[in-house]
Structure 1
Amino acid sequence: MNKPTLIFSILFLLQACSSPKQNKDNEEPRVDEVTASYRTTGSVERLHDEVNQLIPANAQIEILAEGFTWSEGPLWLAEEKMLVFSDVPENTVYSWKEGEEKAIYLQPSGYTGQAPRAGETGSNGLLLSPDGKLVLCQHGDRRVATMQAPLATPQATFSTLADNWEGKKFNSPNDAAFHQNGDLYFTDPPYGLPKQAEDTTREIDIQGVYRLDKTGSTILLTDELTRPNGIAFSPDYKTLYVANSDSKKAIWMAYDVKEDGTLDNGRVFFDATDMTAERKGLPDGLKVNPNGYIFATGPGGVLLFDPEGKHLGTILTGQATANCAFDDEYNYLYITADMYLMRIKLQ
């Protein structure tokens, strides 16, 4: 082989090796680029220049792990430099660390009974209590519970924080947020109930938003939402945001938080009902950054809102997207989207 032919062959091989993986399956995300570490997918829709203050112009959505049935509830553990997240139907919490493969962190995570049980039994929302313990919204056990073991050595041993309202067992607590005073606010849609036996196992007819106060009392705050889901506070804790995962009324609500912990002045923060016809997903999990900007999973991926409810743009994942979480320094947004764990760089 002569020298020009050799050079041409080497260049051809290099080009072939660097070509993006082709999408051969509609269920697989379209891969736009292959980085040294992770495949990338999707794009960022920038409706207003303000998005550039949140997400760098060259930021890409990285696929960190995959193969889950329905990923949910991401939570960054700062001391462990690790993300944990739920796979709800598989009754498992997984962990992910930079440079390592996904691993089982906790199993079972949401249903600790022995008898087989239908429905989505695992944990959903995950968060840390004010004293640093892992708190889980457990679909299968129909409660909000605390893991008794340390974060570094997880074990499936739990203590109940709340499992009923007025003596009636919850449907399936979904997501939660702590107020700065230690009160726990959480949502209770029916997603975790066995569908074929829902009429016989369900004890509460409403879909409520509740508050567990420091005395251990559970108070119903509102039952006006058909499918309350994600929940988060503004940075000053004066506003509570709640997602409603209903295709007929795909909205986010905002409520004033009164001094006694109850809610007032409920209003539609953003209505995405018309968007559901064109894009996958419904209002689901949400987080708020220190400047009051809302990152809310919904139709298309993760919608970005300013504190007044202006839709600034969307992180388009190409998947039905469940939830998101920041790391402790707000460098990255981690995203659970159907069978994938993703992330994107932040400003």
Structure 2
Amino acid sequence: MRHISVVLVLFLAMCQTAPQDQTQEETPTNSDQTMAPTRLIGSVQVLDETLTSLVAPDAQLEVLAEGFDWSEGPVWVSSGGFLLFSDVPTNRIYKWMQDSEFSVFLEPSGYTGTVERGGETGSNGLTLDSEGNLIIAQHGDRRVARLSTSVLEPQPVYETITEQYDGKRYNSPNDLVYRSDGTLYFTDPPYGLEFRMSDPAKELDFQGVYSVSPNGTVQLLESTMSRPNGLAFSPDESTLYVANSDPERAIWMAYDVLPDGRISNGRVFFDATELVEQGLPGLPDGLKVDESGNLFATGPGGVLIISPEGVHLGTINTTQATANCAFGGDGSLLYITADMLLLRIQLLTKGAIL
């Protein structure tokens, strides 16, 4: 009996001192949680209370990466969970991915020639077609091109979608957007030419807005704008918005989109010339439209948020000249290219992801 008691005591003691199970369940973490930003800049300026349903007044504007010459043309690639954007003067496209360092995605990105030339020769606007191919506005090569390889295994090999109109080379295709029927729309200001309007290589005497049908037919839609730049459709594709980055006429135009894809009834949608005259940095440039039809339009002061009725609701003040923006993640994150910076802000609204 005594022997049994000793064994029992030893057994109980061993149970009390045994280590805890090391495989116990840990506190779950949110895999979507973002890292704390290294730096915050800017602010949200509220001009109309409607804005507070689109972006919180105290929303933080994060600096994700910096050190670029002129960041442009962001596009979110859902298949890889990353953002691509151009650095126009350096002839590169960069890739940014959460929890990773940004890296060079493509080089060269906009000028593939071997003869050295001046001007901003890199890629500018970027978008994806319905099959997930990267479509690029190439300043230096003066064309709209398709990346020949997958965005998941990129190589700087391109095929031309269009490079001339009426037998003449484009100025320097700048920004682009697809209509749901597969028609590509793009703008063609002179910014990629070394001497811009007076460049001897300029072959067209206007700055156009064009469309390219799925079968490759090019159509000139607009030739009267002085500096056509960013463009985007309303959610129902009944309206095409086009920015004009001219300090003398810093406006966004709106056009009715006809069933055959042509545009008509051009009118000034919003005029920001007064903001330019106030000394705010930037001009009308890239833009995106959220699911309710509100414009997120880069321009004087940062990203102007304009209602479908043309009311300036407020501005995401980036503190510097701002080139473009894109919805990313689940559509509620706005990525912004602003001069040498890549920025991000959380929205309360969503935009379409390509």
Q: Following the alignment from structure 1 to structure 2, what is the Cα–Cα distance between the partners of residues 196 and 236?
A: 35
Instruction: Map 1:230-309; keep pairs closer than 5 Å.
Output: 230-278=230-278, 279-309=280-310
The structure-2 alpha-carbon separation of the partners of 1:196 and 1:226, relative to structure 1 and needing over 3 Å to count, comes to closer
TM-score, normalization by structure 2: 0.87
Structure 2 partner of 1:164: 164
TM-superposed CA distance for 1:100, in Å, is: 1.3
Distance 2:94 2:113 in 1: 20
Alignment match, 2:219: 219
Which whole-Å CA distance do the structure 2 matches of 1:328 and 1:131 have between them? Answer: 19
CA distance in 1, matches of 2:281, 2:57: 24
Question: What SS does the corresponding residue of 1:52 show, helix, strand or coil?
Answer: helix
Alpha carbons 2:81, 2:329 under 8 Å: kept:
no
Deviations 1:155-175, CA, capped at 9 Å, x for gaps: 100000010001100000000
Find the counterpart in structure 2 of residue 58 from structure 1.
58
Q: What is the Cα deviation at residue 197 of structure 1? A: 9.6
Residue of structure 1 equivalent to 2:332: 331
**What SS is found at the alignment partner of 2:200?**
helix
Taking the aligned partners of 1:85 and 1:129, their CA distance within structure 2 comes to: 16
**What is the CA-CA distance between 1:251 and the residue it aligns to?**
0.1
* Structure 1 residue ranges without an equivalent (≥5): 1-34
The percentage of aligned residue pairs carrying the same residue is: 55
Cα distance in structure 2, aligned partners of 1:130 and 1:96:
22
Whole-Å separation in 1 of the counterparts to 2:215 and 2:96:
35
Deviations 1:298-341 (A, max 9, x none): 00000001111110000000010000000142221000000000
Q: Secondary structure at the match of 2:89?
A: helix
1:200-215 matched pairs, under 5 angstroms: 200-215=200-215
Name the SS for the 2:281 alignment partner.
coil
User: What do the CA deviations read for 1:53-77 (whole angstroms, capped 9, x no partner)?
Assistant: 1112331110000000000000111
**1:39 aligns to what?**
39
The 1-side partners of 2:285 and 2:270 are apart by 13
Q: What is the aligned partner in structure 1 of residue 142 from structure 2?
A: 142
Is there any run of 5+ residues in structure 2 with no aligned partner, and where? Answer: 1-34, 349-354
How many residues matched?
Answer: 313
**Quick one: structure 1 residues 118 and 236, their matched pair in 2 at CA, closer, same or farther if it must change by over 3 Å?**
same
Q: Which stretches of structure 1, 4 residues or more, deviate above 3 A after TM superposition? A: 196-199
Normalising by structure 1, what TM-score?
0.88
Aligned residue type for 1:228: P
Give the distance between the partners of 1:88 and 1:36, measured in 2 at CA: 29
CA distance in 1, matches of 2:53, 2:320: 25
Give the whole-Å Cα distance in 2 for the aligned partners of 1:171 and 1:196: 8
CA-CA distance at 1:196 after TM superposition: 8.0
Q: Secondary structure at the match of 1:250?
A: strand
SS in 2 for 1:215: coil
Corresponding residue number in structure 2 for 1:8: none
Whole-Å separation in 1 of the counterparts to 2:37 and 2:240 = 38
Alignment-derived partner of residue 19 in structure 1: none
Does the residue aligned with 2:153 lie in a helix, a strand or coil?
Answer: coil
1:151 aligns with 151
* Cα distance between partner residues in 2 of 1:331 and 1:37: 17
Aligned equivalents of 2:199, 2:237: Cα separation in 1:
37
**How far apart, CA to CA, are the structure 1 residues paired with 2:155 and 2:78?**
19
